[in-house]
């Protein structure tokens, strides 16, 4: 089947199953959105996302990634991004499917197949990449989604098709990036350890030398590789995580703004408010009221 026909079937399958929970296929994620939205901040986890219809934009540091129908996105490490749908509507919704990229599964596949390791001196890849989806990858995605109608088949065939999808990624245009996810001694894995430490200890003082040692590097190469992967310095990365955590706290409770700032690691309430406004366009108090109002309206619409 040619890519246009595969995309047509992929759109139909996503549209039919996007509202179903749980799905018969473990680990499968489906997205359907009917309207564009203002950019919102989130942490993108390691994932493969294939777009069947519409388009989306992700911003990471100073890098902007636009991707649409017939393209796929690969994220290799936890990255603080801002994203929004750029083409989506009630008649032509944004439709995409995704799979989490698990290092253990990629490592197992590399071992089973004897796939060649990355050459020495391979440049540290960016943590996020977009490219056109080949017909073989689209075909595997369609066959995986067909299993949503056949739960008994899904238990047996789902893991096999997922393995095929991983193989298509490993041997495809972004193969170097995907392989690094599964290689325990890759530069990406070393940077990933530092990223996880920052996420788990975002309220603590960040020391570059300590992070570099955790990544098994000296400070200067660590700083360079970290920025290559994330498009951010370690300090900037920590700041993004702090602000996103603060936004979640403000949305879920009516606590004092200053207390929220202190809770995520800020020593100065004024600095917290200033950086929050720069990141999200509104002071934290105003943004919290808006977010809670939107959440309440969403719940009301679903209940009506």
The CATH number linked to 207 is 1.10.10
The answer to whether 213 and 222 have CB atoms below 8 angstroms apart is no
Token digits for 259? 């207390």
Q: What integer is the mean pLDDT of 19-45?
A: 88
Same domain membership, residue 221 and residue 248: no
Rounded Cα distance between 141 and 138, Å, is 5
Let me know whether 30 and 126 are in one domain: yes
Please report the pLDDT score of residue 9 as a whole number: 97
- Contact (Cβ atoms closer than 8 angstroms) between residue 217 and residue 229: no
Range among 47-51, 111-115, 182-186, 278-282 rated most confident: 47-51
Share of the chain above pLDDT 70, in %: 92
Would you tell me how many other CB atoms lie within 10 Å of the CB of residue 300?
A: 9
The pLDDT tens digits for 140-194 are: 999 999 999 999 999 999 999 999 999 999 999 999 899 888 887 788 888 989 9
Total structural domains within the chain: 3
Shared-domain flag, residues 178 and 287: no
For the cut 70, the answer to whether the pLDDT of residue 228 exceeds it is yes
pLDDT tens figures, 83-118: 999 999 999 999 999 999 999 899 889 888 776 555
Same-domain check for residues 157 and 295 = no
Residues 80 and 173 in one domain: yes
Domain that holds residue 11: 3-182
Question: Is residue 20 located within the same domain as residue 112?
Answer: yes
């Amino acid at each position: 089947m040619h890519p246009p026909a595969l995309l047509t079937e992929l759109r139909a399958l996503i549209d039919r199953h996007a509202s179903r929970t749980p799905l018969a296929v473990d680990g499968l994620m489906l997205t359907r959105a009917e309207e564009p939205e203002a950019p919102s901040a989130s942490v993108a986890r390691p994932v493969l996302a294939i777009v069947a219809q519409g388009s989306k934009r992700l911003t990471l540091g100073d890098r902007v990634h636009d991707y649409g129908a017939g393209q796929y996105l690969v994220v290799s490490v936890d990255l603080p991004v801002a994203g929004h749908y750029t083409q989506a509507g009630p008649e032509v919704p944004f439709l995409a499917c995704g799979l989490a990229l698990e290092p253990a599964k990629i490592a197992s596949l590399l071992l089973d197949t004897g796939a060649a390791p990355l050459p020495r001196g391979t440049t540290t890849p960016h943590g996020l990449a977009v490219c056109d989806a080949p017909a073989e990858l689209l075909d595997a995605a369609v066959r995986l989604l067909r299993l949503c109608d056949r739960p008994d088949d899904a238990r047996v065939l789902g893991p096999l098709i997922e393995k095929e999808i991983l193989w298509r990624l490993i041997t495809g245009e972004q193969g170097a990036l995907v392989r690094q996810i599964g290689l325990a001694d890759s530069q990406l894995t070393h940077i990933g350890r530092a990223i996880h430490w920052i996420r788990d200890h975002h309220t603590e003082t960040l020391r570059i030398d300590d992070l570099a040692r955790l990544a098994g590097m000296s400070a200067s190469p660590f700083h360079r590789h970290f920025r290559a992967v994330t498009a951010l310095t370690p300090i900037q990365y920590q700041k993004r995580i702090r602000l996103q955590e603060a936004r979640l706290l403000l949305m879920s409770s009516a606590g004092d703004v200053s207390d929220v700032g202190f809770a995520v690691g800020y020593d100065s309430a004024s600095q917290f408010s200033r950086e929050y406004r720069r990141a999200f366009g509104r002071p934290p108090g105003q943004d919290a009221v808006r977010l809670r109002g939107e959440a309440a309206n969403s719940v009301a619409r679903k209940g009506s």
